[in-house]
Structure 1
Amino acid sequence: MKFRKKEAKTLRKIIFSRRDVRGNHFTDKTISQKKLFKILDAANHAPSVGYSQPWRFIIIKDNKRKEKIFDCFSKSYEKSKEKFKDRPTYNRLKLEGIKEAPLNIAVLYKKPKKEVLGQTFMKRSGEYSVVCAITNMWLMARSMNIGLGWVSILKPKKVKKVLNISKEYKLVGYLCLGYTDMFLENPELETLGWDKRKKLKKCIL
């Protein structure tokens, strides 16, 4: 299968328009089961080391569990303030959308019980495969005009306890998914002056 220049241009536009959506932009519009499965199916077609497909997903819809996860976030957020006390902007940032997003998704890595092709010396390549799955979700969601935000200010052990996740799984990502009132023209942290996008030539060693 070959793709045309028009299709490559569309993919580039989706990649460049991907945004990390926060709670102040989520709406309460429901995501249909069909659209949710399209996003998850995109994740399920991500590349994985040794074709292991080690990703697993937990869909969280109920407010009680969202509240418990938000409590975990709040405690971690308060502790993290000390690390950024020299940057007052940090206290004004909205860094999650746990309660506002209609859906939360815990993305897990299932630890292998036997040797995985290609993972012998790079043990974490299985987890990297799960990150590839998350990227696929992000891009598919964006192509459908659905917002996705990745909440990283969380202690995995606390989240696993709330969601009753067994030891055979490792939490890789906690995502907030929902329709948004807008997609920002530029990344929010760039707009707020937190940092600037690096020039490509600076990333090539």
Structure 2
Amino acid sequence: MMHEPQFSHDFIRTLETLFSWRRDVRHFKKDPIPDVILNHLLSIACMAPSVGLSEPWRFIQVKTPKIKTEIYDLFKTTNKEAAQNYTSEQQILYNNLKLSGLDDAPHHIAVFSEENPTQGMGLGRQTMPQTTAYSTVMAIFSFWLAARAYGIGVGWVSILPPQHVKEILKTPDHWNFIAYLCVGYPQFTQDTPELENKGWEQRNPKRKEWIIR
């Protein structure tokens, strides 16, 4: 039997710092990340827990310039439409936000979740089938934290219509689109969300309180 590792107080403090500096990055340098590091980050992502050990995540590296352009054009169109849902005053603030790093991130990674994988034999999914998607999000977060530890930034682009992304990437029907990630070395780093720095929203201290029932 393997001995359980003991984590020092210094390690715990460093881990807490990593959580604080895990930001959604929008501004990237053009320098590519070595394949060996990207592959290692993928391996760490796949260490995430998954319902029934189903490992439903599917990571796609988008390298084709034409596909990257199609995704970026789709984002720009969708983003313009989304701005119309806000008041005139809010639109001014919205239009000043940089909501993707698609234009400069050297790496694009699309993440899908297989809806009902045979792996895991359905364990834990009969009452909550959506747990496959939750498992995939856990893998994304594992990738994200590991990337930050290597000084790499990740940005999650959510202003994309899932079905259109699936069509562009020609993925199977039973793969659900979860995330489109921009990955690269950040131009700068900060320990507070950019949306908070830009005045879009502030953290709610009440979210740190337990709800008791």
Q: Once the 2 structures are TM-superposed, how far is the Cα of residue 202 of structure 1 from its aligned partner?
A: 5.2
AA partner of residue 76 (structure 1): T
Per-residue CA deviations over 1:89-114 (Å, capped at 9, x if unaligned) read: 11111100113111100001012255
AA partner of residue 47 (structure 1): P
Select which of 14, 21, 24 maps to 1:17. 21
Point out where structure 1 has 5 or more consecutive residues left out of the alignment.
Answer: none
Structure 2 residue aligned with 1:182: 188
Structure 2 residue aligned with 1:173: 179
Structure 1 residue aligned with 2:9: 5
Residues 61, 102 of structure 1: 8 Å contact kept: no
Structure 1 residue aligned with 2:154: 148
Between stretches 147-156 and 185-194, larger displacement belongs to: 185-194
AA partner of residue 166 (structure 1): P
* Superposition pairs of residues 1-205 of structure 1, within 5 angstroms: 1-22=5-26, 25-85=27-87, 86-87=89-90, 88-114=92-118, 115-199=121-205, 203-205=209-211
Q: Once the 2 structures are TM-superposed, how far is the Cα of residue 174 of structure 1 from its aligned partner?
A: 0.5
Which secondary structure does the structure 2 equivalent of 1:75 belong to?
A: helix
Q: TM-score, normalised by structure 2?
A: 0.91
Between stretches 32-41 and 115-124, larger displacement belongs to: 115-124
Per-residue CA deviations over 1:64-97 (Å, capped at 9, x if unaligned) read: 1110001111111111011123512111111001
Inter-partner Cα distance in structure 2 for 1:121 and 1:132:
19
Which secondary structure does the structure 1 equivalent of 2:134 belong to?
A: helix
Between stretches 175-184 and 145-154, larger displacement belongs to: 175-184
AA partner of residue 116 (structure 1): G
Which secondary structure does the structure 1 equivalent of 2:32 belong to?
A: coil
Residues 66, 99 of structure 1: 8 Å contact kept: no
Inter-partner Cα distance in structure 2 for 1:84 and 1:116:
42
Q: Once the 2 structures are TM-superposed, how far is the Cα of residue 168 of structure 1 from its aligned partner?
A: 2.0
Inter-partner Cα distance in structure 1 for 2:24 and 2:106:
16
Inter-partner Cα distance in structure 1 for 2:184 and 2:207:
35
Inter-partner Cα distance in structure 1 for 2:206 and 2:148:
23
Q: TM-score, normalised by structure 1?
A: 0.94
Point out where structure 2 has 5 or more consecutive residues left out of the alignment.
Answer: none
Compute the RMSD of aligned alpha carbons.
1.4
Inter-partner Cα distance in structure 2 for 1:125 and 1:27:
35
Inter-partner Cα distance in structure 1 for 2:205 and 2:181:
28
Inter-partner Cα distance in structure 2 for 1:200 and 1:15:
19
AA partner of residue 63 (structure 1): P
Inter-partner Cα distance in structure 2 for 1:164 and 1:103:
19
